[in-house]
């Protein structure tokens, strides 16, 4: 449903036609086919093929222009465009509820499950939060809905379940009723902090939702992803500034990617981690401001998540990966040989096959969420991430 809305929004009628309205425009019919496998302009789906007809699209586009209705405003969902007014206190307490009956409705598709409801808390307020960090509505919708979420293997100590969007941009966390209610109370002060300090290292919340079905409630918070999976963190620390019971237990250390604590950090880095003067000063200033905000909220149970990416180990890992790919290519070459020739011929063929491997192209990626990593936040700059084979 949502992807169709996106298509209709960015289609040929997103902007006003550059000509006068003609009589033939009133009789025009635009037909869009939605095959199950998808097409260049439509998403794949699990239903039978269907078609969508738009009658007199250009004419109705003119009619909407007469009343000042923009394409974003016409898109399904009242929050498709930024509100044309200032944020009000009542916006932080607004709750929008959408019912999904099995037979469908004028704005929801039919489905084969029990009826459920979806609640959106403070939709206008969170829309402003996303605007502060340059997140467009269609980008946010595609991140959340274009592919299944991935469940993270290391749940939090609170029992919450964490999910990651397929594009690595957002984390979705399940929360209890009290935690969701507490966040909603903090929203006015949280909004003020984001306006005053966009370099904050505090979690950036982009949505609060509740899924209700069969008398069960699942509350979800959408946050930015601080540690993208395409950058390997060789060490992770959860630091509270305390040493009492602050050592990772045996079970945690046996995990593939353990999260260590304060005493482990002091043991691994007895002299601390050295930073450039400008980076250090910006980091300390940001942490001090964030701590004052937490103090004003009367929050004391918090920690600093630190990820360490080791450049030397990264280079070694990439070299080992290259070697493994070359060995795999050699094995495939051996399997294709018909048995003719001596061992020398085999070695020559394997050598030729290895050198024939193409070097993968560099991919220059730009993260969607502005100031989403720690370094981007304290520097207030979002720079492209260049994934080259020989650059860790």
In the CATH scheme, what is the homologous superfamily, with its name and number, of domain 10-71?
Phosphatidylinositol Phosphate Kinase II Beta (3.30.800.10)
CA distance 239 to 260: 8
The more confidently predicted of residues 159 and 287 is 287
**pLDDT tens digits, one per residue of 126-176:** 988 888 888 888 888 888 888 888 887 655 566 788 898 988 889 999 998
Average pLDDT over residues 30-47: 85
Intrachain domains 10-71 and 72-224 with the same fold: yes
Q: Which of 287, 278, 255, 306 is nearest to 152 (CA)?
A: 255
**CATH 3.30.810.10 at 235-308, yes or no:** yes
3-state secondary structure of 229: coil
- Is 390 a residue whose pLDDT tops 80? no
Mean pLDDT of 26-47: 85
Q: Which residues have CB under 8 Å from 65's CB, separation 6+? A: 16
pLDDT of 367 higher than 60: no
User: How far apart are alpha carbons 198 and 98 in whole angstroms?
Assistant: 32
CATH for 72-224 is 3.30.800.10
81-118 pLDDT, tens digit each: 455 677 888 889 899 999 999 898 888 888 888 889 99
User: What are the helix (H) ranges across the chain?
Assistant: 2-10, 57-66, 71-74, 123-132, 137-145, 177-196, 250-253, 262-268, 277-296, 311-336, 343-355, 374-379
| Given 138, 168, 173, 264, the catalytic residue | 173
Give residue 315's pLDDT: 84
Residue of 301, 312, 338, 342 with catalytic role = 301
**pLDDT at residue 108 in the model:** 85
Tell me the Ramachandran region of residue 137: left when phi exceeds 0, alpha when psi lies from -120 to 50, beta otherwise.
Answer: alpha
Closest CA to 28 of 50, 4, 59, 5: 59
Identify which has the larger pLDDT, 61 or 154. 61
237-272 pLDDT, tens digit each: 999 988 998 999 998 888 888 889 999 999 999 999
DSSP 192-224: HHHHH-TT--S--EEEEEEEEETTEEEEEEEEE
User: Which of 118, 120, 132, 119 is closest to 87 using CA atoms?
Assistant: 132
Q: What is the pLDDT of the chain when averaged over all its residues?
A: 77
Round to whole Å and give the CA distance between 290 and 59. 53
Contact 111, 174 (CB under 8 A): no
More confident residue, 346 or 328: 328
Q: Is 68 exposed, middle or buried (0-12, 13-18, 19+ CB in 10 A)?
A: exposed
Mean pLDDT (whole number) for 46-50? 86
Pairing of strands 205-213, 216-224: antiparallel
Residue 308 predicted with pLDDT over 50? yes
pLDDT of residue 214: 86
Q: Which pLDDT does position 199 carry in this prediction? A: 82
Q: What is the pLDDT of residue 84?
A: 61
Residue 173 annotated among the catalytic residues of the structure: yes
What is the reported pLDDT for 373?
A: 59
* Backbone CA torsion sign across 170, 174, 175, 180: positive
Q: Is the pLDDT of residue 219 over 90?
A: yes
- pLDDT tens-digit profile of 3-25? 444 334 434 444 445 567 777 88
**Pseudo-torsion of CA 14, 19, 21, 27, nearest 10°?**
-70
The question of whether 301 is a catalytic residue gets the answer: yes
> b vs e for 140-165, b when ≥16 Cβ sit within 10 Å of the residue's Cβ?
bbbbbbeeeeeeeeeeeeeeeebbbb
Domain boundaries, the chain: 10-71, 72-224, 235-308
* Per-residue pLDDT, 266: 94
């Amino acid at each position: 449903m949502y992807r169709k809305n996106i298509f209709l929004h960015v289609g040929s009628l997103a902007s006003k036609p550059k000509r006068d309205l003609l009589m033939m425009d009133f009789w025009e019919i635009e037909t869009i086919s939605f095959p199950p496998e998808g097409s260049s302009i439509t998403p794949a789906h699990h239903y039978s093929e269907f078609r969508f007809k738009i009658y007199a699209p250009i004419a109705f586009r003119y009619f909407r222009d007469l009343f000042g209705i923009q394409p974003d405003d016409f898109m399904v969902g009242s929050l498709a465009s930024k509100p044309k007014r200032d944020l009000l206190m009542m916006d932080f307490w607004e709750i929008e509820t959408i019912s999904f009956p099995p037979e469908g409705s004028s704005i929801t598709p039919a489905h084969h499950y029990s009826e459920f409801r979806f609640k959106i808390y403070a939709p206008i307020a969170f829309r402003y939060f996303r605007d502060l960090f340059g997140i467009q509505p269609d980008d946010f919708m595609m991140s959340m809905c274009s592919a299944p979420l991935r469940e993270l293997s290391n749940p939090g100590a609170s029992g919450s379940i964490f999910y990651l969007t397929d594009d690595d941009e957002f984390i979705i966390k399940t929360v209890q009723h009290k935690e969701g209610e507490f966040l909603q109370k903090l929203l006015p002060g949280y909004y003020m902090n984001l306006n005053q300090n966009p370099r904050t290292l505090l979690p950036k919340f982009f949505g609060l939702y509740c899924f209700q079905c069969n008398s069960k409630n699942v509350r979800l918070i959408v946050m930015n992803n601080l540690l993208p999976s395409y950058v390997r963190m060789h060490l992770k620390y959860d630091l509270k500034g305390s040493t009492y019971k602050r050592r990772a237990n045996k079970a945690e250390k046996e995990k593939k990617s353990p999260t260590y604590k304060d005493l482990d950090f002091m043991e691994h880095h007895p002299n601390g981690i050295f930073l450039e003067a400008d980076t250090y000063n910006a980091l300390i200033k940001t942490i001090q401001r964030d701590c004052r905000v937490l103090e004003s909220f009367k929050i004391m149970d918090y920690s600093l998540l630190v990820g360490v990416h080791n450049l030397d180990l990264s280079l070694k890992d990439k070299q080992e990966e290259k070697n493994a790919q070359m060995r795999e290519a050699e094995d495939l070459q051996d399997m294709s040989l018909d048995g003719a020739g001596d061992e020398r011929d085999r070695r020559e063929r394997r050598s030729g096959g290895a050198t024939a491997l193409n070097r993968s192209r560099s991919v220059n990626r730009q993260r969607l969420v502005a100031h989403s990593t720690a370094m981007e936040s304290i520097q207030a700059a979002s720079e492209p991430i260049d994934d080259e084979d020989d650059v860790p």
